[in-house]
A = this chain, B = another copy of it.
Amino acid sequence: MSQEGLLRPGIVQLRVLDMEEAITHYVDRIGLDFVGKEDDGRVYLKGYDEFHHHSVVLRPADSAGIDLFAFKADTQESVDMYRKRIEEYGLEIEDVPAGEQPGTGPRIAFTIPSGHRIELFADMDLSENGPETNNPYTWKNEPRGMRAQRMDHALLYGPNIDKVEEFFTKVLDFHLPERVDLPDGTLAIWMTVSNKAHDIAFVKHDEPGKLHHLAFYLEDWSDIGHAADLMARYDISRDVGPTRHGITRGQTIYFFDPSGNRNEVYCGGYTAYKDHPTRVWDGNHVGRGIFYYERQLNDAFLTVVT
């Protein structure tokens, strides 16, 4: 009881075109800590406020996008339990051996109906550079750049949103704080396995397996403003914001990494409980749902993905 099973987004693996530029962007600008680089060229990063070995993996590639999004479970027994449920639901499981990423135990992987590779795992080493636990300071080293505390969530684009919702809520035990329902069906869903307003979200899209954005958590609206100052100073390509989402109420900026992957810095967002009603948006108000101040979608929101 309490939070059992899946806990939170644990790993994202992104494809980047130029690793040096990517490191400058994610480490110096967004403020993630550099954990290490492995022989296959992959680079491992974590937020200063994350306890475990890494949360973001950058893989050098010829096209940008997302390789996988993995949730951390509390125990291997939970992972085994979900393996059964997923197989019963009809998805094929691929086993990823311990050590495929440094410091990481075995993972199970599967492709959901939107075309994204989702993984589950229970074991990851604690970082030697995580938050202090003995008479801790709020941080040991002054946060850097945009002062990102952690990798927070992803918004993914793909087809079969209804099936994705069914899978996440019935098989993976997520609940659904918000949705957008158009006359011809559901456009978008925000889902959480915790008290965060969302751990993952999906928007209906023809192409499978697309990334809309990967989000990093900041302390507050002042840090959102500071992040915007940094984007101006370093000519980082900004999409929208500073603004607020009507959906989740988070305060936000969308921007792009040098490979074209959209990032978000995000703060706030209400505390979600599964006994709270789902907030529902219709086609006349979805603009305000996404961009609370602009009250309309920009073209890029529905079309630019990697």
* A199 nearest in chain B by CB position: B2
In the complex, what distance in Å separates the CA atom of A225 from the CA atom of B72? 33
The residues in A between 230 and 247 inclusive whose CB is less than 8 angstroms from any CB of B are 230-233, 238, 241-244, 246
Q: A211 in the interface, Cβ–Cβ < 8 Å?
A: no
Cβ-defined contact, A51 with B277, below 8 A? yes
Q: Is the CB of B221 within 8 A of A281?
A: no
Interface positions of A from 269 to 285, Cβ below 8 Å from B: 270-271, 273-282, 284-285
- Tell whether, in the assembled complex, residue A242 and residue B293 are in contact, meaning their CB atoms are under 8 Å apart: yes
- Asked whether any CB of chain B lies closer than 8 Å to the CB of A165, the reply is no
Q: Is A295 an interface residue (CB 8 A)?
A: yes
Q: From A247, which residue of chain B is reached at the shortest CB distance?
A: B136
User: Are A275 and B7 in contact (CB-based, < 8 A)?
Assistant: yes
Give the bracket for the number of chain A residues in contact with chain B. Answer: 35 or more
Known contacts A138-B246, A229-B244, A270 near B221 by CB under 8 Å: no
Interface residues of A in 97-146 (CB under 8 A from B): 126, 131-140, 142, 145
For A232, give its contact among B150, B271, B284, B292 (CB under 8 Å).
B292
Main secondary structure of the interface of A (DSSP, over half): loop
Given contacts A195-B195, A277-B126, are A243 and B242 in contact (CB under 8 A)?
A: yes
Identical copies of this chain, number? 4
A140 to B232, CA, bound (A): 11
Give the residues from 162 to 197 in chain A that come closer than 8 angstroms, CB to CB, to chain B.
173-175, 193-196
In-complex Cβ contact of A137 among B4, B140, B219, B232 (8 A) = B232
B195 and A3 within 8 A (CB): yes
CA distance A152 to B101 in the complex (A): 39
Interface centre among A175, A275, A281, A289 (most CB of B within 10 A): A275
Give me the 5 closest cross-chain CB pairs, A-B, nearest first: A1-B5, A222-B222, A135-B285, A1-B173, A2-B173
User: What are 25 A-B pairs with beta-carbon distances under 8 A?
Assistant: A1-B5, A1-B81, A2-B4, A3-B195, A8-B273, A134-B279, A134-B282, A135-B246, A135-B280, A135-B282, A135-B285, A135-B288, A136-B279, A138-B229, A138-B232, A138-B244, A195-B195, A220-B221, A220-B222, A228-B243, A229-B292, A231-B293, A232-B292, A238-B295, A242-B243
Q: Which residues of A are in contact with B by a Cβ distance under 8 Å?
A: 1-8, 49, 51, 72, 74, 78, 81, 126, 131-140, 142, 145, 150, 173-175, 193-196, 219-222, 225, 228-233, 238, 241-244, 246, 249, 251, 268, 270-271, 273-282, 284-285, 288-289, 292-295
